[in-house]
């Protein structure tokens, strides 16, 4: 495989995402605001630029310059770590998802595991620790009880979710997500 070609293709894909997809998302939010303003019989975003077209940039600037606020009574390290402990497992589940068949002769999957759905369920179930940690870090009993309640609900739903892959195994005879996608094609 030509690594220079692969590197150039990767740069093109990343450039496409940053130069096309992200502005489309920003202006979709602008369009949604305009449509909801028309429905509610009001003006909508019109303060920044012509017809409010610079509103997404103003929103981004506002987000970047916003002051961090941490309540005094919380456990600060855990308070900031809890969202990461919830988000990281959610992002890790994408490692076994096939994004396509092949690109330049390589499978379009980060980790081609034979137990893909089981990996997704196992990693996704780790996010409950972040929820409990968020409740505990608030240093108050009611958020902690809410975190424990949410965790128990998520664990009880995982039983039926785990049973839902049994028909998948019976129909396709494999738990490799790439092979399952090939069977569907």
Q: Is it the case that residue 145 has pLDDT exceeding 90?
A: yes
Q: How far is CA 65 from the centre of its chain?
A: 23
Indicate yes or no: pTM above 0.85: no
Higher pLDDT, 169 or 43: 169
pLDDT of residue 146: 92
pLDDT tens digit string along 69-96? 778 888 888 888 888 888 999 888 888 8
pLDDT for 149 equals 93
b/e 95-113 (16+ beta carbons within 10 angstroms → b) = ebebeeeeeeeeeebeeeb
pLDDT at 1: 57
């Amino acid at each position: 495989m030509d690594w220079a070609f692969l590197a150039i293709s990767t740069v093109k894909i990343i450039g496409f995402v940053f130069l096309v997809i992200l502005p489309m998302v920003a202006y979709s939010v602008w369009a949604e605001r305009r449509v909801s303003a028309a429905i509610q019989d009001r003006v909508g975003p019109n303060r920044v630029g012509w017809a409010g077209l610079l509103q997404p940039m103003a929103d981004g600037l506002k987000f970047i310059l916003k002051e961090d606020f941490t309540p005094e009574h919380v456990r600060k390290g855990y308070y900031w770590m809890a969202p990461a402990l919830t988000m990281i497992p959610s992002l890790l589940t994408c490692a076994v998802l096939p994004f396509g068949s092949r690109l330049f002769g390589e499978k379009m999957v980060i980790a081609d595991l034979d137990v893909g759905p089981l990996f997704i369920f196992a990693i996704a179930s780790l996010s409950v620790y972040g929820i409990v940690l968020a409740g505990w870090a608030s240093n108050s009993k009611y958020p902690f009880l809410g975190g424990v309640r949410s965790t128990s609900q998520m664990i009880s739903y995982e039983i039926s979710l785990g049973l839902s892959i049994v028909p998948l195994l019976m129909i396709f005879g494999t738990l490799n997500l790439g092979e399952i996608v090939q069977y569907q094609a």
